Every structure is written in C-alpha cells, then in structure tokens.
Amino acid sequence: MRRAMIGLALFAATLISATGAPEQAHAQDSVKIGLIMSYSGQFADPGSQIDNGIKLYMKEHGDTVAGKKIELIRKDNGGVAPDVAKRLAQEAIVRDKVDMIAGFDLTPNALAAADVSAQAKKFMVNMNAATSIITTKSPYMVRTSFTVPQVNESLGTWAYKSGARKAYTLVSDFSPGHDGEGAFQRAFKEAGGEIIGSARYPVANLDFTAFLQRAKDMNPDVIYIWVPGGPQPAAIGKAVAERGIDLNKTKVVGQGELTFDEALKGMGDAGLGFITAFHYDHNHQSAKNKKFVANYNADFKRNPDMFSVGGYDGMHVIYEALKKTKGDTDGDALIAAAKGLKWESPRGPMSIDPETRDVVQDVYIRRVAKVNGQLVNVEFDKLENVKDPFKARLPKQ
Amino acid sequence: MTVPALSTSGLDKNFGSLVVAKSIEIALPRGVRYALIGPNGAGKTTLINLMTGMLRPDAGRIILGDEDITALGPEERVRRGLVRTFQINSLFPHLNPLEAVTLAICERERIARTWWRPTSDYRAAVDEAYSVLEQLMLGPVCTRETRELAYGQQRLLEIALALATKPKVLLLDEPAAGVPREESAELFTAITNLSQDITVLFIEHDMELVFRLASRIIVMVGGRILLEGTPDEISADPRVREVYLGGAHA
Amino acid sequence: MITSVFGVLFDGFAYGMLLFLLSVGLSVTLGMMNFVNLAHCTFGMIGGYVTVTLMNSWGWPFLATLPVAFIVTALISVVFERTMFRHLYRASDLDQCLLTIGLVFVSVATAAWVYGTIQQPVQLPPYLRGSLQVAGLTLGIYRIFLIVFALVVTGLLVAALEFTRFGAQVRAAVDNQRMARGLGINVDGAFAITFALGSGLAGLGGALAIDIVGLDPSFALAFLVYVLIVVAVGGLGSIGGTFAAAMLLGISDMAGKYYFPAIGSFLIYLVMISLLMWRPAGIFGRRT
Amino acid sequence: MAVTSPGIAGAHQYLDAQVRWRTIEIVFWLATLLPFVVTPDYLVLASQIAVTALFALSLDLILGYAGIVSLGHAAFFGFGAYTAGLISKWGWGEPLTGLVISGFAAGLLGYLMSFIISRFRHLALIMITLGFGLLLLEAANSASGLTGGADGLQGVKMWPLLGMFKFDLYGRTAYWYALIVLFLLFLVSRRLINSPFGLSLRGIRENAVRMRAIGAESRSHIRKIYTISAIIAGVAGAILTQTTETVSLGVLDFQRSADILVILILGGAGRLYGGLIGAIIYMIARDWFSGVNPQYWYFPIGVLLIGVVLFLPNGVLGGLAQIVNSERGQRWAGWLTSPLPWRSRP
C-alpha cells in the first residue's frame, strides 16, 4: 500500500518536472492569424459574413504581405462564451503559435480575448464587437467595426435636428441594447428633446406586437428601436405595419441592423420610411463600394453587410500594418503601425484613432425606399469623421 | 382486554360517486393472523392504502396501538411499525436483495443519513439484513440484481423489505399473487414462521391458503365489512357462500 | 384601455395558436409511447424550409406550400420513426434524449450547410399583410388567418380523434398502452401514424411561424424550450390541455410584455412554474 | 452457473468490494496527468475539460444516483461562477477562499431550491428546474449593474494560487488547480455513493414509492444531495471563472444545462466516472471536429451521440460495462475492473 502511494507520487513528480514551457517554434516565412468568432449556433451568420469579408480581401490583395504568407486558423466560439473565447485565444497563441488574433463577433468574447492579447503582447483586430470599452482592455487592439455610441448619439442628435421633440425608446434587454438606449437618449435630451417612455424587450423575444401597441398608445414623434439583428428586425417591421403606425407622423428610427437586407426582404413594404443611422450599407454610393459589392456577390451570392466590411477592413489594417513593419509581427510594432492608418474603405473614408485605436468614420442617416423595385437604405444625410464619443468623454490621461 | 395492535373507526372513502370504503371498523389484536377476503373490487387494497396512509380517508380514524395516526404520512406510520407489501412487486430492480434490505435497515436505524462512512462499515446492519434474507430463503441470491430473480423470490423480497423495518403490524397485499403453486409453499412457510409478535393482515384469494394460515377472517364486499369471524364461522356463513365462495373463485 | 385589453388577448391568442401547432404532436406522442422526442422542433424547421424553398426557388404561392410542408414533414418523420426511434421505445428516457438531441445537432448542421446561416425571408401575399380595423381594434390580417387556420386544424384533429376508429385506438393507447395491446390494437402502427401527424403539424407550425418569428438553422433548438413548456403545462397526451396551455402561455406572454415590460421576460417562466406547482401533471393531465 | 450461497461472509465481502479501488481507476487518474507531458499545448483545454467533468459529476449525483433529472443545473454552476467573479471584483482575488465561498453560495441556493425540488418528480420536476434556471438567467441579465449584463462581468483578477502559482497563458496552473479540486471532490462523491446515504439515493432512483413504504426519509435525502450537488456545481463554475478571469451570462445558459446533460448521458449516468468520461469525449470531439470544420461540426457530434445510443446503450460506460461483464470480457479485462487486494484499514 505505502509503496504504491510512493510510486504514484514519484510518477507525478516526474511528470511535472518534465513539463517545461514549450519553446516558441516559429516559421519565419508566414504570418499566422487566429480567427476567433462564432461559426456555429445562433450567431453563425455574422461569423460567416465576417469570414467572407476576410476571404474577399485576401482574394483581391493576395495572400502574401511583406514577403510573408498569411495563414488563417479558424476557431469556433459558438456564441456568447468568453471562457471559450479566452481558451481559444490562449490555444491559438500557445498551441498554434499565431502572431495575432482577429475576428470577435460578440462583446464578452472580445473582452475575454483582450486579456490574452494584453498578456501575450499580441496584436488583436476586433472586427465586429461594438461596445465602447473593449478597446481599452488591450493596448494591442484596434477596431474596424463601429461603436454603439458613435452611431446612436449621432442618431439622437439628428432626430432632434429633424424636428422630433418627444421620443419613445424600445431596446433589447441586454447590455448593447442598454448602451444604444443610453446613447440615443443622452444625445436626444442634450439637444433639447424629451423621452416620454421607454421599454426593454426580452432578448429572445420574437413577437413585438404588444410592445409597439404600447409605444403607439403614447403618441411619440419618434420611436427609437435597438435590435441586434437576427429574426427580430423583420418581426418588428411587420408589427409596426400591423399596428398601423403612421411613419409620416411618427418616425421609426434605429441602428442599421433594423433595416438589414434580410429584414427588409422579410418585412416588405412595411419597412418603407424607416430611418436608420449606420456606418455601412451595400447601397452606399461610391466606386470603391460598387466594386466591393460586385466582387462579393460574385463569390458569395449575397450582399455584403456591416460584418463583411468589418472583416474586410480588419484585413486591410493587418496588411497595411505588416507592410509598415516589413513583416515584423511584434505586437508593439504592429500596433504602432496601425495607429493613425487612414484609408478609403467601401464604407467611405475611415481611419484608426491614434489615441484610442478605435475606428473613426462617417455615420450615415438613411431612409428605406424603393429603388428599381428593391427595398434599399438610401443615404440622405451624414455626420462626418465621428469618433467614439464615449472615449472622448473619458478623462484624459 | 389489551389495546388492539391496529384499529380503525368509521373509515370512509369515496372516489367521486364510487364508494370504496364505508364505515370500516376493524380491531386487530396483537399477534393475530388475519385474512382479508372479498371479491375483486371489494375495496381490500384501498383499505390497505388507507391504513398505510397512501390514501387519505374522507372520514374516520386509524389507531396504531394507542396512537391516532390518521394525520400522519406513510413514512411516519412505517416508522411506528405499520408496514405493507405490494400486490404488484414494488422493488428496486437494480439493487440486489442484500442492498435493498440493508437500505431498509439503515433507514430504520437512521444510519441512512450518514454519507461519510461506507455501508460495509455498518456490520451489524449487514448481519441483520443477511439474517432477514436467510429467514426468507434469499441468502443464496442476496448478491444478484433484483430484476434477475425468479418471481417467487421477488415476492419473498417484498416481505423481506417489510420485515426489515421491524413491523408491529404487517399488511400483506396478496403475497402469493402470480406465484406458481410449486413456489408458493416456500412463501407460506415464510409467512407461517413470522414472529408471533407481529400482527399480520393479509389479502388472499386462494381459500385453501387462507384457511390454513388465518386465525380470523374479515370479508369485505362493496367497500363494507360483511362479517368477521373464525375460519369455521366464515365457511359456514351462507352470505359468504353467496357473494364470494359461490362466485368466480369456486 | 379597454380596446387594448382585447387587442392583447387577440395577439396572445394568435401566438398561442402557433405554439399549439408546434407542440401538440409532441404532447400526444409523449403521452402515448413515453418517447422523449427533443427533435420535435426539427420537424417544425423542416416544414419552414420546405415552404421557403417552394416559395423562393419555385415561385409557389404561400398558401399552396402549406399542405406540402405538412406532407413532406410527416413523411420525413416516419422515416426517422421507422429507422431510429422505433428501436428505442423500450430504452431509458435518457437514451431517448441523447438520440434525439444528436438528431437535432445533425439537422442544425445540415440546415446550415444547405441553406446557409442566413435568416430566410418570406414575403406573404398582399392579402395576408397589413391590418384590419375592427371596432377600434387593430388586428393583423395574418394573425386572423393564423387563428382561423389553427382552429380549423384543431377542429379536424379533435374530430378525427373523437369520431374515427383510428382515433379511438389512439385514445386507448394514450390511456393505457398495455391494455390497448391486450385488446389487439396495433399500438406501434397507430403510433407511427400519430407520430407522422404530430410531426406534420409541427411542420405546418414551422411554416406558419416564419412570418412571425423567422427561420434559421437554430430554430430546431430555439423553440424547444417553449414547446416543452406548453407540453408540460398542458399535460401529456391531452389535446385540450395542450390547447389551453398554449393559449394561456401565449396570452400571458403577450400581456406581460404589454402591461409589465420590465418583467416581460420572467413572466412566461413564472406562469409555468406556478402552474406546475399547482398541478404537477399539467392542467388536464392525469398522470404525474 | 450453480448457485452457491455467498453466506454472511460473502455478503460482507461483496459490500467491502464495492468500496475498493480498481486497477482501471488508478490507471484513469494517472492518465489525467498525461497532458502535462504528452500534450503540454492542450492544458487550457484540459483544464476546461476538468471543470466540465466536475460539473457533470455534480449532475450525476442527483441524476445518476437519485434519479432527479434537471434541465437547469447551470443555475448553480453560474451562481458559483458569478460569486467567484464578484468576490474577485470586489477586491479579494485569493482563489481558494473564493472557491469555498462560491461553493457555499451555490449550496445555499441549492438548499433553498431543494425544498421545492423534493416535492416533484418526472416532467414537472424537469420543467421546474428549467424554469428556475431561466429565471436566474433573466435575473442576471436584468441586474446588469451587478453582473455586467450581456457584456459579462468586468474586473475579475485572480491572485496567484497559494501566493506562488500565477494563472499562466499555457494553462498549467489552471489544469493543476482544476484537476486537484476535481479529484478531491470525486473522492468525496465516491465516498458518498458507497455510504448508506448513497444506498438510499439509489433506492429513490429505483422506486420512490417503495421508499415511502419502508419509511425512508426520502425528501430530506433529496434535499441533502441536491444541496451537495449544487455546491459541487458552484465550485466547478467558480474554477471556470478563476482560471479564465471572465464570467458572462453564458454560464447560466439553457445551452449549458442541456450540454452537461448530454455529456453525462453520453458517458453514462449513475456510474460516477460517466460524467468524467463524457466530458473528455465530448470536449475533445468538439475541439477536434470544430478544428476540422468550424461551421458544421455539429454534424459529426450529432452522429457521435446517435451512434453511442444505438451501439452503446446507457452511455459509453454503460455499454463498456456490458462488454466487460460478459464472459469473454471478464477473461480479457476482468483484472482491470476487479477490486484491488488492499484496502485502507477501517
């Protein structure tokens, strides 16, 4: 008995002493990127659109930068799971020896991976997650999507300017929704408007009739809606039409997801007249975007959306930064190279704020209209070079 | 006259408009072997369910020894010594007889609350379990899973589980139901050999066995007690012949 | 305010109808064979995709796709039943859970592979869109359609179970399987047909649900919880119970969102828990 | 096979043998150390497998032993996870005390819940556990001031384990930590199921009606095991928080409750090792399949589950036990599963 225990202890001790930190083996002629996002589950569609954007960029610009071949290692986060995101980021760095991590469709996942980026000093490109604070979690991170305050404060300001005085807000009952609500209300009130009512609907809610009836009963000038994409926008559009809300009297406004392509297809003419603020739509009129949309359709048989453009521009940042560092993948070098990058994206002019490493871009105000029999978002106003207002308010260090 | 081991007074139970027990008055003296007979649907099993607390009576009282147990749940009645077996086997299919009986003993002794010491450390409980099993001729199969036992052995285990709780009053619901003739001898030896301290009430259809085992017999019909008496009195009574002996079981 | 009460009742009723169509099959098959089919919503999803395919690729009108959704789903379900489920009727319910969850996983991946992860758009014909003003109430036309349609289906179902020989066999089997077998009823055969009917109804529900809740590969899992709630609250094997539970949950869900938006997300679970604590076997359930 | 009476000595021997360690168990636990040498790049995964195994073990205690099916067990996992996160956020980053406090917090919740749980069975029980799980999820979502809502709890920072071992990028500390806690709680569970209490639990699983008829204190047993199970689930959640320094609503998700049920059934419920084996198979298969194809890995996983049901009924361990217990199996593998000759003196 005792001998068995001693044997066991010895065996264990040998094992521990045998495990050193595995040394950093590294191929010199390639750059590995760990792509971490949801390829399966409820959030699979955003994931595949980001991935498409990445694929298209690499097809257009080749897979070699500064003499190094770009290698993608895809990892499925499977939904809201920061524990998994963190593990995947660790594994990407430890096991797959990646030089940087990218992707990140959801805020909690991006936040968790940011820890790893900071700890391992690895460059990180957040291609989608939109909560303002994310970029503060790792000094090696840039963002190529948008921030919730950036878009929604712009919308609040614009709504007042356009004549609305009384607003009702309806948002999804989870943090991004709360952020959107806060941003819109803040800007709208600062401009001089009044919030006459607000509601938060359950995250998994699929029938909006009750909420919109309630909003309609209060007679606001503008109903602000925040939805996270998925099946909800179409359901909202249908409910608005069904409740007989007159869009000439009451504006229905929201962040761009409200009038995504699939949503418009689903809601049909009910969506006509919805007003949204966003940084990208495939209907954006520019030569660069026309080419982007055409190529995208050729490859993936569908239109690009904000996820696609986030992935596309994310790859642009990676390529340009690598060019500047001449292929050096050191985190400090890459982030220094990425700061202040300025370029013409399919979405219009954009840049990386050298101070906050966050995205700076134009925010467009669009209205749903019928063009050639198709429902599209038509831009009719814009706010230029908007920085993330949340970080502007943070005390300067 | 000593206090009866178990008695009921004015016990009523209806399921909707169906009367299943009406003014049941029974007094079982200590140590007596009682048989409860009657045609199907007479309310025999219902009466056992009422006495053991599986059903709540609409009216009436149940007294065990000198304690009124009408308001108690089935578990508390068992702990006070009123125990039953089931007409259709109600056993623990994946436990073996040794485990099942040990379990019952541990529950009785409140050892079942301990979760830190292995069962095998409670040697007295295990010894007792084995002796109960041996008494019921289950010793040789005590480590075989219950579901693999022969049917007659399972019926014996029914009784073993009840005995393990150290009953004062034992209610056997058709202990020989479904047991082939050749296996029933063992069963009835076991019942005959039960300690004389235990009062036994058993439901049985096989009249030969009833008359052999019971010192007194209660006849139930339509939820009521028709009569009570010694085997001789019962077999002589014309009413019994009419409703029961002359019926389907002749 | 009075008008809004009726409006909320109406909308909740319509939502409840949808839940009923999706759940009733599971309730009956669970009550009949004790078969835990967590893949029930997969059949709803199949029905949805049938409708989407017929409409968007073949240009069929919406209404014409509905019977096809029903039939195709029913046929597919029978194939599953005969090849896989049949072997597990006597297995433990845990094994049944595992098998059907495995099936859900496979179906989700297959749907993602064939149709992509995108939300499937469905454009209803004009006569089903918009709303009607009735006595000061705004009633969605599609919801009226949904209610009428589901009521007709329910009526047919109840009539079939009450007045046909087959219905009598099914009721006997739900009541007491052992006895039904003893009476010479072909329980397995009756079950296969019932299973197909129930799955077909789920397929129909899935097709009708697209306009209200959308359709993507996660449908098979997303609706499972609601369907289980309806089945449990209604009581196994009880069509009336399922109907009542679906109405109750649909209406309380809708009313909660309208009157108490702050606890809108809690309400359906609170209602379920309190109903089950009151009647563990379900509203009309007999067995626990 | 001739029936020979085991006799009273045989009866004691039989029960003694239940408690003894088997060769295969020693082999299993030694094998859990292999990742340190064989796959040092997989230690982070190994640590999360250990956490999942612990969570599955907690479910096995109520499902496999007491027959209580729960579709809301993530409630306790999540409660432990958030408690551990909050303790750290509020300034106390010491892992071991955090672990103990989190376990007790989850246990307290489990104790309160157990008064309701012990009154129900079957579908009602499953749905009530599911309902409470989802209520807790919604509550955590609503209380975003406390929990951070959907963004997850921010500011979780752990101090080094025992003041010496930092939670490193390679997951070495994480795996050691998770593995040791798993092993210790496994020992407790093993002890528990071999006790008279464990025997009574199996009785409840097998036949709750009969338990009443032998006067068993079933409800109090259920309350007790439910509380213990909640503690273990809470500890598992706390380890996940501490080793990843993040918590989000995902820990309370229905998906997590469903996954752990699938994992336990896959491995084999009621066998103590079932949850462990299930966690290992499921997590490795998932890692592997999703590495091969991040989009459609649900397909092979689903096929795996279906295959297990059709070919290895009662889970992988159930199926294997059937094989080993056959005559030929005994000849080849009997030495692995027979009790070891030594046992600690009573």
Residue B191, in any domain of the structure: yes
Taking the CA of residue A227 as centre, how many other CA atoms within 13 Å lie in the half-sphere pointing to its CB?
26
Q: Which of C119, C130, C257 lies at the smallest CB-CB distance from A210?
A: C257
pLDDT the model gives residue B181:
77
- Is the CB of D292 inside 8 Å of chain C's CB atoms? no
Residues A132 and A56 in one domain: yes
Residue B1 has pLDDT above 70, yes or no: no
Rounded Cα–Cα distance for residues D44 and D283 (Å): 12
- Whether residues A76 and D294 touch (CB distance < 8 A) is answered with yes
Residue B250, in any domain of the structure: no
**Contacts with B87 from chain D: Cβ below 8 Å:** none
For residue C267, the one-letter residue type is L
CA A348 to each of CA A278, A343, A369, D334: distance values in angstroms, whole numbers, following the listed order: 12, 9, 21, 72
**Contacts with C253 from chain A: Cβ below 8 Å:** 207
Residues A54 and A126 in one domain: yes
> SS3 for B144?
coil
- ipTM of the complex in this document: 0.86
Chain C residue with the nearest C-alpha to that of D134: C269
Q: Which of C119, C123, C217 lies at the smallest CB-CB distance from A230?
A: C119
- Whether residues B119 and D199 touch (CB distance < 8 A) is answered with yes
- Whether residues D150 and A86 touch (CB distance < 8 A) is answered with no
Residue ranges, chain C, pLDDT below 50: 1-2, 287-288
* CATH entry, C2-278, from 1.10.3470, 2.60.40, 3.40.470, 3.40.50: 1.10.3470
- Whether residues D314 and C288 touch (CB distance < 8 A) is answered with no
- Whether residues C101 and D258 touch (CB distance < 8 A) is answered with yes
Residue A8, in any domain of the structure: no
Report the gap between the CA of D34 and the closest CA in chain B (Å): 31
- Whether residues D33 and A15 touch (CB distance < 8 A) is answered with yes
Q: Identify from D126, D127, D263, D292 which residue to disrupt to test chain C contact, counting C C-beta atoms within 10 A and taking the largest count.
A: D127
Contacts of A374 (CB under 8 A, 6+ apart): none
Q: Are A353 and A386 in contact (CB under 8 A)?
A: no
Chain A residue with the nearest C-alpha to that of D46: A87
Residue A230 has pLDDT above 80, yes or no: no
Domain borders along chain C are 2-278
Rounded Cα–Cα distance for residues A388 and A382 (Å): 16
**pTM score of the predicted model:** 0.89
Rounded Cα–Cα distance for residues A47 and A32 (Å): 19
Residue B211, in any domain of the structure: yes
Angle, alpha carbons B12-B15-B19 (nearest 5°) = 50
Residues A265 and A155 in one domain: yes
Structural domain of B238: 6-245
pLDDT the model gives residue B180:
81
- Whether residues D122 and C288 touch (CB distance < 8 A) is answered with yes
CATH of the domain at B24: 3.40.50.300
Rounded Cα–Cα distance for residues A80 and A204 (Å): 14
Structural domain of A242: 149-278+363-393
- Whether residues C265 and A205 touch (CB distance < 8 A) is answered with yes
- Whether residues D141 and A76 touch (CB distance < 8 A) is answered with no
CA A308 to each of CA A57, A200, A209, A297, C56: distance values in angstroms, whole numbers, following the listed order: 10, 29, 31, 12, 24
Q: Which of D44, D294, D344 lies at the smallest CB-CB distance from A87?
A: D44
Residue A13 has pLDDT above 70, yes or no: no
pLDDT the model gives residue A4:
45
Cα C237 to chain centroid, rounded: 13
Asked if chain C contacts chain B via 3 or more Cβ pairs within 8 Å, the reply is no
pLDDT the model gives residue A396:
57
Chain D residue with the nearest C-alpha to that of A39: D295
Q: Are D60 and D274 in contact (CB under 8 A)?
A: yes
Report the gap between the CA of D197 and the closest CA in chain A (Å): 28
Residue A11, in any domain of the structure: no
**Burial class of residue C157 (count of CB atoms within 10 Å of its CB; 0-12, 13-18, 19+):** buried
- Whether residues D130 and C276 touch (CB distance < 8 A) is answered with no
Q: Which of D135, D262, D308 lies at the smallest CB-CB distance from C269?
A: D135
Q: Are D319 and D85 in contact (CB under 8 A)?
A: no
CATH of the domain at A230: 3.40.50.2300
Of the given ranges (A5-19, A165-179, D287-301), which has the lowest mean pLDDT? Answer: A5-19
pLDDT the model gives residue B241:
75
Most confident of B21-25, B116-120, B133-137, D49-53: D49-53
- Whether residues C262 and A200 touch (CB distance < 8 A) is answered with yes
- Whether residues A231 and C214 touch (CB distance < 8 A) is answered with yes
CA B79 to each of CA B57, B160, B238, D264, D346: distance values in angstroms, whole numbers, following the listed order: 20, 16, 41, 36, 31
Most confident of B116-125, B224-233, C238-247, D102-111: D102-111
Residues A160 and A185 in one domain: yes
Residue ranges, chain D, pLDDT below 70: 1-4, 340-346
Which is nearest to B23 in space by CA: B3, B39, B54, B47?
Answer: B47
Residue A22, in any domain of the structure: no
Report the gap between the CA of D285 and the closest CA in chain C (Å): 14
Which is nearest to D107 in space by CA: D267, D271, D236, D8?
Answer: D236
Residue A299, in any domain of the structure: yes
Query: Which conformational region is residue B195 in: left (phi greater than 0), alpha (psi within -120 to 50 degrees), or beta?
Result: beta
**Contacts with C221 from chain D: Cβ below 8 Å:** 255
Strands A123-126 and A100-103, by their bridges, are parallel
Chains that touch A (3 or more CB pairs under 8 A): C, D
pLDDT the model gives residue D273:
94
Angle, alpha carbons D148-D154-D155 (nearest 5°) = 145
Chain C residue with the nearest C-alpha to that of D293: C109
Per the structure, the count of domains in chain A is: 2
Confidence band for B160, pLDDT divided at 50, 70 and 90:
very high
Chains that touch D (3 or more CB pairs under 8 A): A, B, C
Residue B45, in any domain of the structure: yes
Asked if chain A contacts chain B via 3 or more Cβ pairs within 8 Å, the reply is no
pLDDT the model gives residue A293:
95
Q: How many CB atoms lie within 10 A of CB D328?
A: 9
Residue for token pair 């009956």: C28
**Contacts with C270 from chain D: Cβ below 8 Å:** 131, 135
Chains that touch C (3 or more CB pairs under 8 A): A, D
For residue B181, the one-letter residue type is R
- Is the CB of D37 inside 8 Å of chain A's CB atoms? yes
b/e sequence C15-36, b meaning 16+ C-beta within 10 Å: bbbbbbbbbbbbbbbbbbbebb
Residue A17 has pLDDT above 70, yes or no: no
Mean pLDDT of A84-107: 92
pLDDT the model gives residue B250:
36
CA torsion A61-A66-A67-A68 (nearest 10°) is -80
Report the gap between the CA of A268 and the closest CA in chain D (Å): 30
Q: How far apart are the first and last CA of chain C?
A: 41
